[in-house]
Chains A and B, each alone.
Chain A
Amino acid sequence: MCAVEVNKDLIKKVAANARLNLTDEELEKFVPQIKEIIVESFSKLDSIEVDEKPSFQPIELSNKFRRDEVKPSLPIEKVFSNVSKELRKENYFKGPKVL
């Protein structure tokens, strides 16, 4: 059994982990909706006993490897074709500060 209290604090914490800032309006809306989904749907799994191994895929798959060979890659201009001018500096992607 997994006891969980779905409230504003929990949803705010989860949203922050997912890099989402929720407005007050979104928070008001999401709390009861997510509570309903977790309590009425997700928690149904509390009532089933399982010893089975997990199926991370619906069919059995084995690891597939390819030869470690050098192949032609995308030309530089294609690599940057979807990048805005502001986020390209020479042949580098420009990102926000990390420190």
Chain B
Amino acid sequence: MKKEETVNFFVSEAKKDFRIVEENLHNVIEEVKFTQNKGLNYFEKFDEEFVLNQLKKLKENQEANLSGKLFGVPISVKDTICVKGLESTAGSKFLKGYVPVFDATVVSNVKKEGGIILGKTTQDEFGFGTFSTNTSRVPKNPFDNERSCGGSSGGGAGFCAITRNYHINIGESTGGSIAGPASFCGVAGFTPTYGRVSRYGLIDYANSLDKIGAIGRNIEDAALLLEVISGKDDNDSTNIGEKYVVDEAPVKKIGVIKELLDSADPEVKKIIQEKINELKKFFIVEEVSLPLNFNYSLPTYHIIASSEASTNLAKLSGLRYGVQGSVEGKHFDEYFSSIRSEEFSEEAKRRIILGTFARMSGFRNAYYLKSMRVRTKLIEEFNNLFKKYDLLISPTMPIISPKFSEISTLSPLQNYSTDLCTIPVNLAGLPHISINAGFSKNMPVGLMAVASHLNENKLYSFAKVMQ
């Protein structure tokens, strides 16, 4: 990676000459408009005036912002993260018109460091999906517009791949929603340890799984943004208060997760295998096995994720914000049921039903509680491997990005199963990255690396070797 391609380089130059900030931002704005006009749909909400007002303010207060790590850098934000004054819908028509009156902590942190909020990027509704197709504005893969950007942070990854200017995206992952799109779009996705980054202001999907992270053109950019958005926040009771600071950390021994490599399509497996052979020049690389995770992480994840989603979505009732109807003469049951039935998509309804079922009296012990116990076992399996290995690696996705025509033929279960590689690490709250490893049929193939809790810098050092 050339130093000139990193946001760090841009920031150091921009501090010397503000015209660099203006030129970069105007170029990025033109790219956003161009991609919107071409129907590539990377942005759910883009308001040029909103962006230019921030530029004006930064120009007027340059001196005060000169220490900012993101001085003048355009930062796009996944639609599920609240930005004050900018419609934030989490990709759902139920939240149409909702304009937050406060910034999420990650957005405040970006602003404090001189970043410019560019707009809200497209995603699956509430994060429910692997392909960003469960929404009205479906982002298209820059490498082939008939294929998906991945999901659910699809718009952010797609724009990172297409822009030729300096920009970083704030994404969010519940079961692989940063790594998956990064893999399909050939960019760097960095998901932190659970609790590293405050979730205050996140329109949540599943509370014990959601993690806000970063997507960039390279690992340096993603790590820089992760450093800015991480750290202590009293507004999030699950925040662990450990700031991430970008640094190198020694990596010697790497385990290749056999089950995940063997599950990949032959073309994906071939590219990852070639990359593994190259890595052997730098690291000790051995094959490892995660049988429990391979067999049980998918059902465990889907029970937990849908259970938590069904309780989170209970708050959407057509009162106070988002779509609202007339309550005149209506009983609360009638009003809530009618507006929820009207405004939730098919996928949201399916997940609400699954989650409500798993928590119902008579099934709760067999499904919900058991899945939480199984999760303990699955985390232990990872921890045992981390006693011997610095990192574990596998393909990020078992396939290259599929065509929309192929996605439409998948059953919900087949659809959910494509997250096979990313779900175990998300269930265990482990930090992970996806870095491009090569191309198959002209489509990017991502390699995922996973570290033990709070060891993000091992991932950073490894990714720099990979790049």
Q: Which residues of A contact B (CB under 8 A)?
A: 2, 4, 10-11, 14-22, 26, 29-30, 33-34, 36-38, 40-46, 48, 50-59, 61, 63-64, 66, 74, 78-79, 81-84, 86-87, 93-98
Q: Does B370 contact A (CB under 8 A)?
A: yes
Residue pair A18, B238 in contact (C-beta under 8 Å) = no
Known: A45-B371, A48-B377, A94-B327. A36 touches B353 (CB 8 A): no
Residue pair B354, A34 in contact (C-beta under 8 Å) = yes
Q: How far is the CB of B447 from chain A (nearest CB, A)?
A: 23
Chain B interface residue number, banded: 35 or more
Q: Which residues of B contact A (CB under 8 A)?
A: 97-99, 101-102, 193-195, 208-209, 234, 237-240, 292, 295-296, 298-300, 302-303, 310, 314, 317, 319-322, 324, 326-327, 329-338, 340-341, 344, 346, 349-350, 352-354, 356-358, 360, 363, 366-367, 369-377, 379-380, 411-413, 416, 427-430, 453
Known: A20-B349, A22-B349. A41 touches B298 (CB 8 A): yes
Besides A15-B356, A19-B340, A36-B413, 17 more A-B contacts (Cβ < 8 Å) are A18-B352, A30-B349, A33-B412, A41-B299, A46-B366, A50-B374, A52-B376, A52-B377, A54-B372, A58-B379, A59-B193, A59-B195, A59-B429, A83-B320, A84-B324, A94-B327, A96-B335
Number of A-B contacts (CB under 8 A): 194
Complex: how many Å from CA A16 to CA B234? 37
Known: A20-B344, A22-B341. A55 touches B376 (CB 8 A): yes
Residue pair A82, B99 in contact (C-beta under 8 Å) = yes
Complex: how many Å from CA A96 to CA B310? 22
Q: Which of B317, B367, B429 contacts A45 (CB 8 A)?
A: B367
Complex: how many Å from CA A17 to CA B296? 28
Complex: how many Å from CA A16 to CA B372? 26
- For B292, the closest partner residue in chain A by CB is A48
Going nearest first, the 4 A-B pairs with the smallest beta carbon separation are A58-B429, A54-B372, A2-B366, A82-B321
Q: How far is the CB of A91 from chain B (nearest CB, A)?
A: 13
Q: List 20 A–B pairs whose Cβ atoms lie within 8 Å, in order of A's numbering.
A: A17-B360, A34-B354, A36-B413, A38-B357, A42-B299, A42-B302, A52-B377, A57-B194, A58-B429, A58-B430, A59-B195, A61-B238, A63-B237, A82-B101, A82-B322, A87-B327, A93-B319, A95-B335, A96-B330, A96-B331
Q: How far is the CB of A96 from chain B (nearest CB, A)?
A: 4
Complex: how many Å from CA A7 to CA B355? 16
Q: Which of A20, A36, A44, A82 contacts B411 (CB 8 A)?
A: A36
A-side contacts of B350, CB under 8 Å = 30, 33-34
B-side contacts of A93, CB under 8 Å = 319-320
Complex: how many Å from CA A56 to CA B298? 17
Residue pair B238, A57 in contact (C-beta under 8 Å) = yes
Q: How far is the CB of B95 from chain A (nearest CB, A)?
A: 10
- For A53, the closest partner residue in chain B by CB is B376
Complex: how many Å from CA A64 to CA B239? 9
A-side contacts of B375, CB under 8 Å = 54-55, 58
Residue pair B101, A50 in contact (C-beta under 8 Å) = no
Complex: how many Å from CA A4 to CA B91? 34
B-side contacts of A53, CB under 8 Å = 373, 376
Residue pair B337, A21 in contact (C-beta under 8 Å) = yes
Known: A41-B302, A83-B324, A95-B319. A18 touches B353 (CB 8 A): yes
Complex: how many Å from CA A2 to CA B357? 13
- For B357, the closest partner residue in chain A by CB is A14
Q: How far is the CB of A47 from chain B (nearest CB, A)?
A: 8
Q: How far is the CB of A65 from chain B (nearest CB, A)?
A: 9
Complex: how many Å from CA A18 to CA B360? 11
Known: A44-B299, A55-B379. A61 touches B331 (CB 8 A): no
A-side contacts of B333, CB under 8 Å = 19
B-side contacts of A34, CB under 8 Å = 350, 353-354, 357
Q: How far is the CB of B366 from chain A (nearest CB, A)?
A: 4
Q: Which of A45, A61, A83, A86 has the most CB atoms of chain B within a 10 A radius of its CB?
A: A45
B-side contacts of A20, CB under 8 Å = 337, 340-341, 344, 349, 352-353
B-side contacts of A11, CB under 8 Å = 353
Complex: how many Å from CA A90 to CA B324? 18
Complex: how many Å from CA A81 to CA B102? 12
Complex: how many Å from CA A37 to CA B370? 17
Q: How far is the CB of B177 from chain A (nearest CB, A)?
A: 16
Complex: how many Å from CA A87 to CA B405? 43
A-side contacts of B344, CB under 8 Å = 20
B-side contacts of A51, CB under 8 Å = 373
Complex: how many Å from CA A8 to CA B357? 13
Residue pair B353, A61 in contact (C-beta under 8 Å) = no
- For B373, the closest partner residue in chain A by CB is A50
Q: Which of A2, A58, A81 contacts B363 (CB 8 A)?
A: A2
B-side contacts of A57, CB under 8 Å = 194-195, 208, 238, 429
Complex: how many Å from CA A58 to CA B195? 9
A-side contacts of B341, CB under 8 Å = 20-22
Complex: how many Å from CA A87 to CA B330? 13
Residue pair B296, A98 in contact (C-beta under 8 Å) = no
